[in-house]
């Protein structure tokens, strides 16, 4: 029984190592240029449809890009800069959902769907491996033997 858990434990350990490596490598850079690029891609163009400030070439987007760099050099944090634009343009300026209110649904729903899907697959696999195979009863064997005797031989 214990040997059947060894591959699963090895898979879990490998998955844990992969997650740690991804988290460590995905930390954002704190350089002013990287921060400005990240903020520009998180803010929506106020006059364009479906474009970020980083993608748009409108006058408003260029002004926001310049202002973001200025605010970073003044020492403002990313959340302060985002909050300033939300105060000026409203929540529609943010391309990423907030961590509160309806934003929790936008962030949490995919995670919940993945967990439910993984649990469903796990339960199905468990059920398939635990379900016992049915053995033939003596009556079943008799039925098969009678059928074999009654059928003509197809070898001719």
Whether 134 is covered by a domain: the verdict is: yes
Q: Do 6 and 69 share a structural domain? A: yes
Range of the domain at 22: 2-96
Q: Do 74 and 40 share a structural domain? A: yes
Q: Do 10 and 37 share a structural domain? A: yes
pLDDT level of residue 26 (50, 70, 90 thresholds): confident
Q: Please state, for a pLDDT cut of 70, what percent of the chain lies above it.
A: 90
Q: Smallest Cα–Cα separation from 98: which of 83, 110, 111, 88?
A: 83
- Give the pair of three-digit tokens for residue 1: 């029984």
pLDDT at 136 over 60: yes
Instruction: Tell me how many domains the chain contains.
Output: 2
- Give the pair of three-digit tokens for residue 105: 């649904």
Q: Do 142 and 92 share a structural domain? A: no
Let me know: does 48 contact 85? Beta carbons within 8 Å. Answer: no
User: What's the whole-number average pLDDT of the chain?
Assistant: 85
Higher pLDDT, 26 or 43: 43
* pLDDT tens for each residue of 6-17: 888 888 999 999
């Amino acid at each position: 029984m214990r040997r059947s858990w060894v591959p699963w434990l090895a898979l879990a350990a490998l998955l844990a190592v992969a997650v740690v490596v991804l988290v460590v490598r995905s930390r954002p850079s704190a350089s002013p240029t990287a921060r400005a690029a990240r903020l520009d891609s998180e803010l929506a163009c106020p006059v364009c449809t479906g474009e970020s400030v980083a993608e748009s070439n409108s006058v408003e987007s260029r002004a926001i890009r310049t202002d973001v760099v200025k605010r970073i050099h003044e020492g403002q944090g990313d959340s302060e800069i985002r909050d300033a634009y939300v105060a000026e343009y409203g929540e529609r300026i943010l391309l990423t959902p907030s961590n509160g209110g309806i934003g929790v649904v936008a962030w949490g729903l995919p995670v919940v769907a993945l967990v439910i899907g993984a649990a469903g697959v796990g339960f199905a696999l468990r059920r398939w491996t635990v379900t016992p195979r049915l053995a033939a009863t003596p009556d079943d064997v008799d039925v098969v033997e009678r059928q074999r005797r009654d059928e003509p031989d197809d070898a001719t």
